[in-house]
Amino acid sequence: MLICKGINKTYSQKILSDFNLNVDPGEIVALLGPSGSGKSTLLKIICGLERLDSGEIIFNGQNLENILPEKRGIGMVFQKLALFPHLNVNGNIKFGLPQESNISEISIMLNLLGLKGFEKRKIQTLSGGEAQRVALARSLIAKPKMILLDEPFSSLDTDIKIILAEEVKILLKKLNISAIYVTHDLSIANKIADRVVYLDSKKNDKLNK
């Protein structure tokens, strides 16, 4: 499904050096590594928010080099959720809904994520875990073929992280959506992923479960 081949990216220093990664259909890969190793940069390159210096990103057989982010069929949930405070839960999820989609899909997504009855809740009244679910729902309702998760649970307590990681894995498997999950936490990586890949800016080693 996803092939990252010979990825290179440099800012003031080399971030990614000849990095390679394959993700199979329906597979969840956790990307583990220290700060500055290029984990978030790789996600931004895959979804089109950053350009690579050299290499290829192939997704479903298509080279993504000149494909706009919104045309890639790849969703992303950031560490900073960027939920709209002036919209309620329903409005935030609706924002991610393609125009041709049926509005009833919001109710389906709310049920899947345990948010039934939250439609009119203001974002400011949600707990951290509830807000994470809303951000995930907004991304998933666009029906991406793959979703990229950039440490979305980092601000939560460990117990909540583990619960959400388990819930997200079940949901992604049910929807057959591939995912790359960036984290510093090996215990969370092991909970959510089928395979753990260790990214080091100097070595680019891989450590598979």
3-state secondary structure (DSSP) of residue 209: coil
- The strand pairing partners of 148, in sequence order, are 76, 180
pLDDT at 104: 77
**Which class does domain 1-73+144-159+167-209 fall in?**
alpha beta
Is-contact 112 171, C-beta < 8 A? yes
pLDDT at 202: 56
pLDDT tens for each residue of 62-99: 999 989 998 999 998 887 777 888 999 988 988 877 66
Backbone angles phi, psi at 88, to 5 degrees: -80, -175
Question: Where are the chain's structural domains?
Answer: 1-73+144-159+167-209, 85-141
pTM: 0.85
